[in-house]
């Protein structure tokens, strides 16, 4: 499984960005995709994940990001999106998309994702005040 993240950039506080993660390789319909982020000096944290197409595209988003961040999946494009609204300076981080089984992603996204096997390169999001 290969993942290619994009969509980061510089945005003012209150603005929006949409990150994309294009997934290639096999097992698209069987894998969950998640987003993690890491700010300088901080541990990587889970942001959101969406379960496999086979299991019904169920979503999970960290409590403190609910209402601002939304994950979605386009199964025709093998792409997962992270829509980020009302961005705050504390959202500044490198955002990574990752893939694994439903169980691994759902449990890992509540932590730092150390058990997740497949990672894309990060995309930097910078929110200015």
Provide long-range contacts, Cβ within 8 A and 24+ apart, for 66-75.
71/35, 73/33, 75/28, 75/29
pLDDT tens-digit readout, 68-110: 999 999 989 999 999 999 999 999 999 999 999 999 999 999 9
pLDDT tens-digit readout, 30-40: 899 999 999 99
Contacts of 114 (CB under 8 A, 6+ apart): 108
Tell me what the pLDDT averaged over the chain comes to. 95
């Amino acid at each position: 499984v290969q993942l290619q993240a994009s969509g980061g950039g510089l945005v003012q506080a209150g603005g929006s960005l949409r990150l994309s993660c294009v997934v290639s390789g096999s097992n698209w319909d069987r894998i969950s995709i998640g987003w993690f982020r890491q700010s300088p000096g901080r541990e990587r944290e889970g942001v959101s994940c969406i379960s496999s197409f086979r299991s019904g595209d169920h979503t999970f988003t960290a409590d403190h990001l609910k209402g601002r961040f939304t994950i979605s999946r386009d199964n025709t494009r093998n792409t997962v999106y992270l829509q980020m609204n009302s961005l705050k300076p504390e959202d500044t981080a490198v955002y990574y998309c990752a893939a694994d089984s439903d169980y691994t992603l759902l449990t890992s996204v509540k932590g730092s994702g150390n058990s997740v096997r497949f990672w894309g390169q990060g995309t930097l999001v910078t929110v200015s005040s």
